[in-house]
Amino acid sequence: MANKSLVGSRPFTPATVPQLRLAFASRLPFRGRPTLNGPLLQQPKIVGLVVRRQRAEAAALAGTLAGHLRSRGVTVLVEQEMAALPEVQVVDKAAMVRSADLIVVLGGDGTLLSVARLGGVRELHVLGINLGGLGFLTEVSTDDAVPALERVFAGDYQLDRRTTLAVRVLRRGAVVASSQVLNDAVINKSALARIIDLHTSVDGEYLCIYKADGLIVATPTGSTAYSLSAGGPLVGPGVAVMLLAPICPHTLTLRPLVLADTSVVRVQLRAPDQEVFLTLDGQEGIPLLDGDVVEVARSPHVVALVRTVARSVLGVLRDKLHWGER
């Protein structure tokens, strides 16, 4: 007999979970489990520059990199704000992601995350130049930007493939929003000091009702972000898991949970007359209504970070989080 899930209105059977996984993968061709530090790419012929517009030094560096790329016969794509650069093609960010062999991000991790959410068509290759703060993802310094590009053209780099999550919002059974995240999907309430009820299941099996300020579903990459602040564990990017971290739960025994990344997480909101949002990578907000269901599963697509300097995960954590310092 089918077990009726407490999350959503459809009954779950043993066949339902594979169908849910296929539903996520149906939008995009399945590539199998991502490989970290995989094979090198061919030389890029089309390069997109995504610039953090609030930083004047980013625009100046974009001009330098564009000139360097043009000297190599590379087609350079930019957004409208950088249209003044000579001999470039102006496109929107989504078109750039679809067309470019390589995206060079001039900004911080947030700028890179805004690009990663658009990478739901093919494997996205990103070189991050850090003009922000911590720079977990954008680790190349501005002084090393041109040398890093030279190493790319010389084939002296590796691809650090990061898993992403496919996120859907269902309202009365119909999909009303969908996206891809590199860090996390967060269900959180507004400023009112009232908890919300989040009826949660994993692979069709009832897990619990999170009575909390919210719930974070994160990738290993996102384990250094909001999930960490909510008490979640640090996870190496090559570990095949996803994280569930409640935000200020009413019951202290509700601790962060590590799941296999083959899991399908389904969360139904029960919060009448409250403002609740689904936040994607801390940047895009989707209002949720009472009864809405948020489904999260591993996306078949990855974001490949171009690494021109050999750095271990432990070394990055030690440097960025200042471990061992007094």
Catalytic residues: 109
Rounded to whole angstroms, how far apart are CA atoms 27 and 242? 21
Rg (CA), the chain: 21
H or E segment to which residue 227 belongs: helix 226-229
Report the DSSP pairing between strands 158-171 and 293-307.
antiparallel
Burial class from Cβ neighbours inside 10 Å (0-12, 13-18, 19+) for residue 68 reads middle
Rounded to whole angstroms, how far apart are CA atoms 53 and 43? 28
Q: Determine contact, residues 199/267, Cβ cutoff 8 Å.
A: yes
Beta carbons within 10 angstroms of residue 9's beta carbon: 12
Q: Determine contact, residues 293/268, Cβ cutoff 8 Å.
A: yes
DSSP at 2: P
Both structure tokens of 31: 């590539």
Residue whose token pair is 């003009």: 131
